[in-house]
Amino acid sequence: TPDQLSDYQTLVHRRASGYPLPYLTGRIEFYGLEFEVTPEVLIPRPETETLVDLALARQPATIVDVGTGSGCVAVSLAVHLPEATICAIEISPAALAVAQRNVERHGVADRVQLMVGDVLNPRPGPVDLIVSNLPYVSTGACSSLPTSVRDHEPRLALDGGPDGLVIVRRLLAQAPAVLRPGGGLLIEIGADQGEAASSLARTFFPQAAVRVHPDLAGHDRVLEVLPHLGVRA
């Protein structure tokens, strides 16, 4: 029909102008699962699957996902760890609404608790594992991101302050009050942040083992900090 043709032409034009395809279709695959995405959430990336792989290897019973966005990490963990309970925290109520729909879509609403919060406030826990994909692009680098990212994905989910690690720093500072004995952190970082993030982690966790894991492309991607002596349950 003419209306359908007009709608199609509009979609083609928006895509040609750099509008991200997942926002046009409203969905994307992540870790073998389909997720709803809207312009209120960061589009899940394949690199973040490294974070999920590392978390699953730990077999945690209790997890907090900080900056859950679409909920892709929390839901993937819940699906693959049927005994685990997860608290997913997000500062944006609009993003959390998307996460809620994804939690329900995959039938894990009984084990994934969604909370509006800022980093680890309100404080969950104690938990075995903190996972996080917080904003880590430096403010200065935001302007040189690909147009499709810079102009269409939520700045709140990208901008990590002057050095890209401002919010990660806050998470590291707050984490000791939330982790169980033997607990750990897995934090997604930028490809050029391995050294800086490791140094930061050692400042907050001088007794911990700190490692940086690469993604499939060989770039620095996940900061691992463990074990932590933790708080008593």
Q: What local confidence, expressed as pLDDT, does residue 3 receive?
A: 72
DSSP code per residue over 5-42: HHHHHHHHHHHHTT--HHHHHTEEEETTEEEE--TTSP
Instruction: Label residues 143-177 b or e (16+ Cβ within 10 Å = b).
Output: eeeeebebebbbeebbbbbeebbbbbbbbbebbee
Domains of the chain, first to last: 39-228 (3.40.50.150)
Contact 166, 112 (CB under 8 A): no
Q: What local confidence, expressed as pLDDT, does residue 229 receive?
A: 55
Q: Which of the 8 DSSP states describes residue 176?
A: G
Is it true that the peptide bond before 126 is cis, omega within 30 degrees of 0?
yes
Contact 53, 118 (CB under 8 A): no
Q: What local confidence, expressed as pLDDT, does residue 63 receive?
A: 98
Q: With a cut of 70, which residues of the chain have pLDDT below it?
A: 13, 16, 228-233
Q: What local confidence, expressed as pLDDT, does residue 232 receive?
A: 46
Instruction: Retrieve residue 172's tokens.
Output: 């590291």
Contact 167, 188 (CB under 8 A): no
Q: What local confidence, expressed as pLDDT, does residue 228 receive?
A: 59
The model's pTM is 0.92
Q: What local confidence, expressed as pLDDT, does residue 128 receive?
A: 96
